[in-house]
Amino acid sequence: MNAPVIAIRPEPGCAATVARGPQVGLAIEGWPLFEVVALPWTPPPAERIDALLLGSANAVRCAGPGLAAFRGRPAYAVGSVTAAAAEAAGLPVAATGGRGLQPLLQRVRPPRTLLRLAGEEHVPLRPPLGVVIETRIVYRSASLPMPAALAGRLREGGLVLLHSAAAARHFAAECDRLDVPRAGVALAALGPRIAEAAGAGWRALRAADEPREAALLALARDMCHDPPRG
């Protein structure tokens, strides 16, 4: 498949995905269809919180001055990029996950009260016995219209990387709005829930084996070498 590989996630994540492409032999184009917007939030009393639970570096970037009260508290970070953002914000990392937040919770020793900083779209969690999660929404990903130039490119085919269910739904709606045939576009999703959100009718639709960008990019590389259907 010689069609372009497209990343549509918001910045700065989009640029990071583009930069990782050559490491796995992919030339990825960045066309962000979302913009991260910080939201006002009210921090809980700091003395009530034992540690922070972070599912995205965006949560750290968008938390603003409210995060200062929790400096020095340990953080449980979903991945290495989030862990680096936490360290930079003065939050020592207690553990870094690799398969999402739910497995990471198994590494929290109760009793603990965690402050989860999250986006408007976030996955529900089942805390283990003795672990309490207080959630605060600190950002949202605002959708942007698909540029005509990108729609024109995709009418000739392409492979699009989907990092969230919101991205899957928005991309599908924009393709339909701009008459981009789904049958010409392949989708590589970060997980099954994201793939399901994209709907049907695509040239190909596959989900990564685990919710890590390395797995997503490996999947995209494999899909680029899949023989065309028909």
Instruction: Convert the pLDDT of each residue in 8-57 to its tens digit.
Output: 999 999 999 999 999 999 999 999 999 999 999 999 999 999 999 999 99
**By the 8 A CB rule, do 139 and 38 touch?**
yes
User: Is residue 47 packed enough to be buried (19+ CB in 10 Å), middle (13-18) or exposed (0-12)?
Assistant: exposed
- As a CATH number, domain 36-141 is 3.40.50.10090
At 65 the three-state DSSP class reads helix
User: What class is the 5-33+144-224 domain?
Assistant: alpha beta
For residue 114, what pLDDT is reported? Answer: 98
For residue 123, what pLDDT is reported? Answer: 86
3-state helix, strand, coil in the chain (%, to 5): 35, 25, 40
For residue 90, what pLDDT is reported? Answer: 96
Which alpha helices (H) appear in 21-164, and where do they start and end? 57-62, 80-88, 101-105, 148-154
For residue 230, what pLDDT is reported? Answer: 39
For residue 2, what pLDDT is reported? Answer: 65
Residues of the chain scoring pLDDT < 50: 1, 229-230
The percentage of the chain sitting over the pLDDT mark of 70, rounded to a whole number, equals: 97
**Token pair of 148 as six digits:** 């005509």
For residue 88, what pLDDT is reported? Answer: 96
Looking at this protein, which amino acid is placed at residue 182? R
For residue 57, what pLDDT is reported? Answer: 93
Q: What is the dihedral of CA 157, 216, 120, 64, to 10 degrees?
A: -110
For residue 5, what pLDDT is reported? Answer: 97
Domain ranges of the chain: 5-33+144-224, 36-141
Looking at the chain, the number of H-run helices and the number of E-run strands are 8, 11
**By the 8 A CB rule, do 195 and 162 touch?**
yes
pTM above 0.75, yes or no: yes
